Amino acid sequence: MALDRTSDDFLPRKAMKAELLDAETELKLAYAWRDEKDEKALHRLINAYMRLAISMAAKYRRYGAPMNDLIQEAGLGLMKAADKFDPDRGVRFSTYAVWWIKASIQDYVMRNWSMVRTGSTSSQKSLFFNMRRVQAQFEREAAAGGEQLDRHQLHQKIATEIGVPLRDVEMMEGRLSGSDFSLNAVQSAEDEGREWIDALEDNSAQAAELVEDSHDTRQLREWLVEAMSDLPAREQFIVRERKLQDPPRTLESLGTELNLSKERVRQLEAAAFQKMRKALECRSGEVQHFLA
């Protein structure tokens, strides 16, 4: 099933029409993909369980992500599951795929929750997806028993229930209760419309630094060209192909072209660099990193 960006209801409607696989057929398809890399078998397996991926994606709509994006991520998780599934373990593919689909969706939700990355450790994931539910449960229980929990007590209970450190609970509380603000927002009416971005320090290079860097770079380039021009033609060729090409040539490909062994090319390259180092030592130690 193509995971392209179509209307919100197209993929779910298409998934509902897909075949339902019995255990025997599922196993045959899994073996065909694992052992023979049969892409038709892979497509049948993914198509059959895309309804499962979509059903799981729908549970995360409350986090504000577009449904189509959630389905895309669920589909990616499903494909990872199909790629790593081992039919010899005697587990149904649907059971195995649930973990990969859930992990893929949760990673996407956490990446897009805020401009400030929330984090992706197991502790942070557990808190992100369970903290509000557990907190509401404790608040209801406290209210029913006539208790009043302060913030520290509540955080301690949450940490114990979810099994995470107290400091992680406190950190996640701040992240979930905060929100992103535009740097173009006005600080206050008293600052004559000054925006927050105006208060950021400019860490970019100043004009004097730019001129100095440009001069140094030009000088280093001239020294390198001069040092390289003193090398024999074959060594010049090796240095040029190994250091000035993107991507650089391999020793083996150069050996084939020059009718030399790979080890001999390596020796010529090392000798060329040594000669260039000696030529540059009288110039400046600043150029040494170019030959590292």
Q: For every one of its 292 residues, what pLDDT tens digit does the chain have, with 9 covering 90 and above?
A: 444 444 456 566 666 677 888 889 999 999 999 999 999 999 999 999 998 899 888 888 877 778 888 888 999 999 999 999 999 988 899 899 999 998 888 888 877 765 444 555 677 777 777 777 888 888 888 888 888 878 888 888 888 888 888 888 777 776 666 554 455 555 555 555 566 555 555 555 555 555 556 666 676 777 778 888 888 889 889 888 888 877 888 888 888 888 999 899 899 988 988 888 887 776 655 444 444 4
pLDDT value of position 32: 92
Distance between CA atoms of 207 and 224, rounded to whole angstroms?
26
* The CA-based dihedral angle spanning residues 227, 228, 234, 238, taken in that order and rounded to the nearest 10 degrees: 130
CB 57 within 8 A of CB 67: yes
Phi, psi of 18 (to 5 degrees): -70, 160
Instruction: Using the structure block, give the residue that is written with the tokens 């107290």.
Output: 166
Distance between CA atoms of 291 and 227, rounded to whole angstroms?
12
Distance between CA atoms of 261 and 251, rounded to whole angstroms?
9
DSSP string, the chain: -------TTHHHHHHHTSPPPPHHHHHHHHHHHHHH--HHHHHHHHHHHHHHHHHHHHTTGGGT--HHHHHHHHHHHHHHHHHH--GGG---HHHHHHHHHHHHHHHHHHHHS-SS----SHHHHHHHHHHHHHHHHHHHHHHHTT----HHHHHHHHHHHHT--HHHHHHHHHHHH-----TTSB--GGGTT-BGGGGS---SPPHHHHHHHHHHHHHHHHHHHHHHHTS-HHHHHHHHHHHSSSSPPPHHHHHHHHT--HHHHHHHHHHHHHHHHHHHHTT-GGGGGGG-
Residues 6 or more apart whose Cβ sits within 8 Å of residue 148? 142
Rounded to two decimals, what is the model's pTM?
A: 0.45
Phi, psi of 186 (to 5 degrees): -75, 135
Distance between CA atoms of 203 and 88, rounded to whole angstroms?
57
Distance between CA atoms of 207 and 129, rounded to whole angstroms?
49
CB 197 within 8 A of CB 183: yes
Taken in order 21, 27, 33, 34, the sign of the CA dihedral is positive
Peptide bond between residue 232 and the one before it cis (omega within 30 degrees of 0)? no
Distance between CA atoms of 267 and 290, rounded to whole angstroms?
19
pLDDT value of position 224: 77
Half-sphere exposure of 201 (CA within 13 A, CB side): 2
CB 135 within 8 A of CB 158: yes
